[in-house]
Chain A
Amino acid sequence: MSIRIQGVSKNFGSFRALDEVSLDVPSGSLLALLGPSGSGKTTLLRIIAGLEVADRGTVLHHDENITDYEARDRKVGFVFQHYALFRHMTIAENIGYGLRVRGVSKQERQTRVDELLKLIRLEGLGSRYPAQLSGGQRQRVALARALAARPNVLLLDEPFGALDAKVRTELRQWLRKLHEEIQVTSVFVTHDQEEAFEVADHVVIMNEGRIEQVGTPAEVFERPANAFVMDFLGNVNVFHGRVERGRAVVSGLSVAYPDYQHPEGRDAAVYVRPHELEVEPTPTEAGSLAAKVLHVNPTGSRTKVELRALDSNQLINVELTPERFAELGLKSGDIVHVSPRRVRVFVPDYEI
């Protein structure tokens, strides 16, 4: 079931948590709300769930306006960051709670609970209490509880936030697989871009109560809409330069920038990802920056090299493949020449 959010705003006192947010979640998709803390992503999720009331705007489920519905009538499953399992109920009672309050018979409830215990691979643990389970198990129980009443929409608030790294990776893959199996429209909140890219088919990047960009992981990573998105999604080198007549110029280095053809130059920020920088032992014809190698970190699948530009003293992070690194034979103190394979330029909007 699709979700449509139209012009939703929410203030907490003088703090603007959401500012005229509009978003479409296609039916059956798995969407991630990604943003730094305080960007309004959890508030948006809670408004979809009906746990928070929007000051303005409407929420539609499959063209049905549910803005004024209470949480219990929205048929959403909500998974809380700290699970919020009922501590005095057994696992089976927890999972069956949504059916119990809807008046489902005990027998039917039992069948569904067994089915879900099997789905979350916790068969035989139904009579335990939440305190007797590990964090990852509790998170799966919370998910099963949310799914028990067959919700139209599944909402997850930082579902893996409280887990350790290994369990988190496992659960991510498991959630991805689970979603492929049950195909329920799902929205989850995270501040971890890697998690969002790994799990979701669509990513919504939020900042200061507004949506910055919506797209598939590849789209937002490859074509970030603005400087915030570029900066937020992974490591990036920022150079300050100017744009003029279809070219961007940074410390003597000139790259094509056809979006800006005006003859009058303007300040601009040039962003280059560490893996999109080329390192050569000698200056290149197209132009390059001379830099000194400060530090080399050869662990991991890519070798990370920290450089300092000779003229501007700016720190530059470069990632090389191990083969290229071996070919260059870099060590601290070497002088190298850096040139970007690809840049993104963001000219600040005209202030009116």
Chain B
Amino acid sequence: MTVETAEVRDAPRAKSAATKIRRAQQDPAWLRWSLTGLAVAVVGVLIVLPVANVFAGALAEGAAVYWKNLVDDPDTRHAIGLTLTVVPIAVTANVVFGVAAAWAIARFSFPGRTLLTALIDLPFSVSPVVAGLMFVLIFGLQGYFGAFLRRDGYAIMPYLVAALLVLLLAVAYFVFRPSHPRARRGLWKTPPLGLAFVFATVFVLLVLGQQAFEVWPANKSLKIIFATPGLVLATAFVTFPFVARELIPVMNAIGADEELAALSLGANGWQMFWHVTVPNVKWGLVYGIILCNARAMGEFGAVYVVSGHIAGETDTMPLRIEKLFQEYNMPGSFAVASVLTLLAILTLVVKRKLEDRIPQSEQGRRTGAHP
């Protein structure tokens, strides 16, 4: 009983002490208000106003004109389509390479690992214009491979495609082959020399097939610069670090134990990857893809150099905006800009929504690994 009353008596005192502490930690009102005001003003003037202006400019002559600007101009239509083609290819390539690079760096130690880690960051530090120029110097008509590709681009295509398919076949063979020597029956028992022979035969057959059926048109040379492949290359180069950089810290933090556990429980590499690795790095991967996607859509510098601005052929959305702007077509320019801005805002919203969801699993991760 006495203890209880003492507590009750103490309660108000404790409360007032807490208020005092809070007051002591707080800055004076004028400082708080001026700092908040400054932050709001800067955000308003530098971010909110210009973004709002984009939409205002786009809709200045009414919604009908806005719609017409977007849909009726064939070059604009093509630009939107081209961006929606180039970006998914570049992002997909970066996801594949990013996961592979992050895996290699986080799970293995090999000579040149530090160098690889540094090289992944290179696209961030190199100016996009320089990146574009690099590709022009390599694949352009005056570049190392340009003349060759122009002349013989058609001739090497069958070999390239065949080599790629054989590589995929080989990877599939080793992924699906039973690891236990005794479980290998029939085709799985092929000795290495026999395997090499099979792969060589497939390669030759594919090349002969191309020559007989002309899957790749005979008169079409392989064009990279001033064409879609160049746009994809430039975009992929500039946005390469996003996925890998998101994944490496996540993979390092999680460690290899769960993957080893899966292997010791009887999973093969493929199962381990899909059952354990991917779910564990899921959020990092999604985050990397979102950032990569946002950056790829807005890419201007590198794409500017390799595209050659052929309207209706190699103009992506950012390039189209610039061109319309240079032609004093403000409503048209703003209309395309508004679409790009909308896509960016959408990306932000998705990212925000995901961040709300991550803490639960993140919590699980932290307590799960080291209680």
Contacts and interface: CB of A to CB of B under 8 A. Distances in A.
A209 interface: no
A80 B265 contact: no
Of listed A69, A86, A145, A149, residue having the most chain B CB within 10 A: A86
A72 B264 contact: yes
A10 interface: no
B280 to A, nearest CB: 7
Contacts of A76: 264
Given A70-B179, A73-B179, A97-B275, A86 B262 contact: yes
Interface string A54-98: 000000000000001111111011101010111110000000011
Contacts of B179: 69-70, 72-73
A97 B368 contact: no
A87 B260 contact: no
For the residues of B in contact with A, the DSSP-based class is helix
Contact of B261 (A68, A84, A88): A84
Question: Most chain-A Cβ atoms within 10 A of its Cβ — which of B262, B264, B279, B364?
Answer: B264
B263 A88 contact: no
A130 B364 contact: yes
Interface in A136-156: 138, 145-146, 148-149
A88 B263 CA distance: 17
A131 interface: yes
A162 interface: yes
Nearest to B366: A131
Contact of A131 (B181, B263, B364): B364
A72 B367 contact: no
Interface string A228-258: 0000000000000000000000000000000
A101 B263 CA distance: 10
A135 B371 CA distance: 7
Interface residues of A, number: 35
B363 A131 contact: yes
A131 B266 contact: no
Contacts of B23: none
A97 B265 contact: yes
A49 interface: yes
A51 B275 contact: no
A178 to B, nearest CB: 19
B92 interface: no
A175 to B, nearest CB: 19
Contact of A86 (B263, B276, B371): B276
A97 B180 contact: no
Given A88-B280, A97-B265, A98-B265, A82 B369 contact: yes
A77 B264 contact: yes
Nearest to A149: B266
Interface string A155-176: 0000000100000000000000
B267 interface: yes
A68 B266 contact: no
B265 A131 contact: no
A51 B258 CA distance: 12
Given A73-B179, A80-B261, A87 B371 contact: no
12 contacts: A51-B263, A69-B180, A71-B260, A73-B183, A78-B261, A82-B369, A84-B260, A85-B368, A97-B265, A131-B367, A146-B265, A149-B266
Interface of A: 49-51, 68-74, 76-78, 80, 82, 84-88, 97-98, 101-102, 129-131, 134-135, 138, 145-146, 148-149, 162
Given A87-B280, A101-B267, 8 more contacts: A51-B263, A72-B268, A78-B261, A80-B257, A88-B282, A130-B364, A135-B371, A162-B370
